[in-house]
Amino acid sequence: MDTIEVEKLSKKFGELVAVNDISFTVKEGEIFGLLGPNGAGKTTTLSILTTLLPPSSGKSFVNNFDVETDKDNVRKSIGMVFQDPTLDDELTAYENMDFHGRLYGVSKKIRKSKVISLLKLVELGDRKDSLVKTFSGGMKRRLEIARGLLHEPKVLFLDEPTLGLDPQTRNKIWEYIKKLNQEKKITIIYTTHYMDEADKLCNRIAIIDHGKIIALDTSQSLKNKIGGDVITIKTTDQKKLSHSLKDCKWCESVRVHDGSVTINVHNASKRVVEIVNLAEKNKVKIDDIIIHEPSLEDVFLYFTGKTIREQEASGIDNLRKRMMIG
């Protein structure tokens, strides 16, 4: 059963196309990842699905409710953790939770027991009476996740929930998300630009770039699609090496990025010798060679021609240009 259906969804802000004719479904009980650089369209998509933004075109359904014509029922059936903090720092953890429960009409008796149990779930039970302004970034994130669960939503939207957190805290958040999904059977929609995060957490992943979904499958299937192994070569002559490989019949793809040349091949241990010989023949100095199995970063590079870091950098440059023109 599909909990979310998105059909030819688009969103424009003037001439800027933030979401460009995307379609996908999310199964009940699934952790579904929207993966891409900042500005790719992830947050805009979530804002539409949670009724915060109207679409320019297309249709979307959450728990069989139309996000445009049945907003109240959509909102009652979902929880949301925003990318930016939305807690009241001058209230305690308990007061933040209690206030949220009142807004959703949770009865006083149920509200009290659920607040306590959820705070324990995210290991904040002993800090229930502490002001939120005394919490670390990771503690605030855990509190926001707990708050989003108070009214027992069928779907939980998490927009970059680990952004800016240290690796240890990120791992903690991952554990809570997996636990929620397994124990409470909640469908989770998860946006991130951390490749390792999506790889570990998500049942399926949609890679979104420039407002379009460019790939959608399980993590392993996406890796399998790019074929074989990945050879990354560090050299100052990237273009020269890339050009010498343009007629390579056993290369699945050749990409120049981040001061490197990445080659997708089968049987890398055999092919690396041929690549070295070809480099010597063309007087290309190789500084380093790395062979590894495909990662989601390699998948992103394969489908877009750039790494996620390069896409973010180009996005920032485009934003600066628009600001200068304006």
Render pLDDT for 275-316 as a digit per residue (tens, 0 to 9): 899 899 888 999 999 998 888 888 888 888 777 776 665 554
Q: Which CATH number fits domain 224-321: 3.40.50.1820, 3.30.70.100, 1.20.58.2030, 3.40.1280.10?
A: 3.30.70.100
Could you tell me the CA-to-CA distances from 274 to 97, 177, 250, 265, 269 in Å, in that order? 62, 45, 11, 12, 10
In this prediction, residue 312 carries a pLDDT of 67
Q: What is the pLDDT of residue 313?
A: 59
CATH number belonging to domain 2-222? 3.40.50.300
Same topology for domains 2-222 and 224-321, yes or no? no
Give the pLDDT confidence score for residue 87 in this predicted structure. Answer: 94
In this predicted structure, what is the pLDDT of residue 59?
97
At residue 119, the pLDDT reads 93
Using alpha carbons only, what angle is made at residue 164 by residues 163 and 169, rounded to the nearest 5 degrees?
Answer: 90
Domain extent listing, the chain = 2-222, 224-321
At 60-109, the pLDDT tens digits run: 999 999 999 999 999 999 999 888 888 999 999 999 999 999 998 899 98
Interval 1-7 mean pLDDT? 94
Phi, psi torsion values for 102, nearest 5 degrees: -65, -40
Is residue 149 scored above 50 in pLDDT?
yes
CA dist 295 and 145 (Å) reads 28
pLDDT band at 323 (very low <50, low <70, confident <90, very high): very low
